[in-house]
Structure formats: structure tokens, C-alpha cells
Structure 1
Amino acid sequence: MTVSMYRLSVPVFIRGLNMLSTLLEKAEAHAAENGIEPGIMLNSRLAPDMLSLCGQVQRASDTSKNALGRLTPKPAPSLPDTEATFAELGARIEKTVAYLETISERDLQGSETRAVNLAVGSLDVTFTGIDYLLEFAVPNFFFHVTTAYDILRHDGVAIGKRDYLGPFS
């Protein structure tokens, strides 16, 4: 049995984004129940040189949508990083998932051998599609999702591993 580029990407990213959305809902409820100004949580970070919770959610969104934009003929939507509320972050996730849901198995056919050049900052590397997906896009996506989870845990939100893993089908 072969595993397709579609199966390795679209459902994985959608599941992770849906789980992240649920975590944000729990964080918003935690803030309300404990009289915490939401902006404090949204701007919280694990270390001074790391992105805030908002930044982590934005990068998880960017990583997933841009990965599929690079691997398919369907360009990723541009989403400015202007979110400043839980509702706005939730809307960003919804827009990202809606884009991912437009990607079909057919759109990804042959993408495993497509050349993907990634030039960001001092990084300038060309991957094959499969290497880009498995060595950069998926790990980068989960770095930001995990860091968002860690920020929320650090800020006292009652979430655990089952929340991170999400429901199973």
C-alpha cells in the first residue's frame, strides 16, 4: 500500500488546525472564567525571542496553506498577520481549512518529485516535493502547533495530551 502526498498533507494539516481551534476555544473560556485579559494570553510567549501565541497560530496557518500552494497548482490565499483576538485567530484557521479542503488527491499527483525552492532568510534550499513535505512543512507545522499548546499550558489552561491529539475517527 502506498501513502499519497494528499494523505500525508491535507488531512494531517486539517486535523492539526481543528485541534488548534479547539485549544483556542478552551483558552478563551479559561481567560473569561479567570478574569484574564485575553490580550495577555494572545501575546504570551515561552521565551523573549519566540513568537507569541498569535504568531504561533499564524505560522501554523501559513505553513499548512503555503505547503499546499507550493505543491499544487492552487495558490495559497494571502492572510495578513493582523489577528488580535481569539475570534480572529479562529476565523484565520477556518479560512485556512477552507482552502485546504479545496485541494484534491488529483491536485497533488506527481508533486512528490516537484522541485520546491525555499528561500527564507538565510535558508535557500531546493527540495523534492516529498522531502519538502516530510522534512520541512510537516515538522514546521507541528513545531508551531506544539508551541501554541505549550504557551497555553504555561498560562494555566487545563489542557492535556488528549486535547492535543484530538478526537479519533
Structure 2
Amino acid sequence: MPLSMHQASVVLFTRTLTALDAILDKAIAHAEAKKIEPDALLTARLYPNMFAFAKQVQLATDFAKGPVSRLAGVDIPKYADEEKTFTDLKARIAKTIAYLKTVKPEQIDGSADKDITFPAGPEKTLTLPGSQYLLGVALPNFYFHATTAYDLLRHNGVELGKLDFIGRP
């Protein structure tokens, strides 16, 4: 059986967001054990002009819910981007996973050839077939932000390994 658009989107996004949620638990435990202010991790950046950890998590959730919604042809849930704590970020991840679980395979499967129009910078949009959008835009952006969040915590001493990022099937 060929891989479906649902499997390549909802299933992958859900698995990685579940792993990211567990990574946040390790960050919380690390901050408590080492007596580090959580804000030091939440505001950590790889470079001054890059987004901080909290924003990376927000963007990872955005690049899960946005593409899935576009592929399904439904409105994208809007989040205020006001998360300031690990608890807030965990709630955002949970809300995103809950949303993804409402999108059924029949809503997305068959979208491979459907034209998807999406923002590509300020006041600019692009249109691609669904499969190109998912594989060439959505997944790379999602994994970029999820990986950057992981890297920020790892760089700041949180003991994480590859299996923490990949998650368990």
C-alpha cells in the first residue's frame, strides 16, 4: 500500500510533537535539578538574530497545524503566541496534537495534486501541488523548528539523545 498524505503529515507531525512534549519534560527536570531559571532555556537562542526556544516550539506547532489544515481544506486554528512557560508550551503542543487527531485520512488523502496556496513571506504567496507543498515546504519547515528547539536545549545542557527527538513508535 502506498504512503498516504495523511501518514506523511498528521502521523509524522503527531509523533514528533509527542516527542517534543517529552523533551520539554526533560528540560523542566533539568532546570529543576540544576537550579536553572526556566526562562534561561525558554529564551535561549543559537545566535542573536535567530528565534528563541519558545518561538521555535510555537513555529513547530504552526508548521503542523497550518499545512494539515491547508491540505484538508479547512480553516487553520489560530494561536496567540503568548506562551511564556514550559507549561504554556506543553499546552500548545497538546492542543495541536488534539487538533491533528480531528483531521481524518479522507480529508487529506487525495490532496497530493490539489493546488495549495500558502504564505511565503510578507505579502507574498506561492501555490504548489499538495505533495510538493508537504514534502518540499511543510515537512522541512516543521523539522527545522523542532530540531532547532531540540538543539537549543541540548546546547544548554539538557541530556537528550537521538531517540528523544525521533520518539518511540
TM-score range with shorter-chain normalisation? over 0.9
CA distance in 1, matches of 2:101, 2:149: 23
Q: Which digits, 9 at most, give the CA deviation of each residue in 1:56-95, with x for residues without a partner?
A: 0000000000001111133221111100000000000000
**2:109 partner amino acid:** Q
Q: Shift in Å at residue 49 of structure 1? A: 1.2
CA distance in 1, matches of 2:20, 2:144: 12
CA distance in 1, matches of 2:157, 2:78: 33
**1:23 partner amino acid:** I
Pairs within 5 Å for 1:3-18: 3-18=3-18
CA distance in 2, matches of 1:72, 1:16: 20
Number of aligned residues: 168
What is the aligned-residue identity percentage?
A: 44
CA distance in 2, matches of 1:119, 1:5: 20
Cα RMSD of the aligned pairs, angstroms, is: 1.1
Asked if 1:149 corresponds to 2:150, the answer is: yes
Segments of 5+ residues of structure 1 without an aligned counterpart are: none
- 1:6–1:108: 8 Å Cα contact kept in structure 2? yes
In structure 1, the partner of 2:80 is 80
- 1:71–1:108: 8 Å Cα contact kept in structure 2? yes
Pairs within 5 Å for 1:102-121: 102-121=102-121
- 1:76–1:99: 8 Å Cα contact kept in structure 2? no
Segments of 5+ residues of structure 2 without an aligned counterpart are: none
CA distance in 1, matches of 2:164, 2:109: 33
CA distance in 1, matches of 2:128, 2:73: 17
- 2:42–2:86: 8 Å Cα contact kept in structure 1? yes
Pairs within 5 Å for 1:63-78: 63-78=63-78
Say which SS state the counterpart of residue 113 (structure 1) adopts.
Answer: coil
For structure 1, which segment, 1-10 or 82-91, has the greater mean C-alpha deviation from structure 2 after superposition? 1-10
In structure 2, the partner of 1:138 is 139
**2:84 partner amino acid:** A
Say which SS state the counterpart of residue 97 (structure 1) adopts.
Answer: helix
In structure 2, the partner of 1:129 is 130
In structure 1, the partner of 2:27 is 27
**2:17 partner amino acid:** L
- 1:74–1:103: 8 Å Cα contact kept in structure 2? no
Q: Which digits, 9 at most, give the CA deviation of each residue in 1:110-129, with x for residues without a partner?
A: 21111112233265321100
CA distance in 2, matches of 1:100, 1:75: 13
Q: Deviating runs (4+, > 6 A) in structure 1?
A: none
Q: Shift in Å at residue 139 of structure 1? A: 0.8
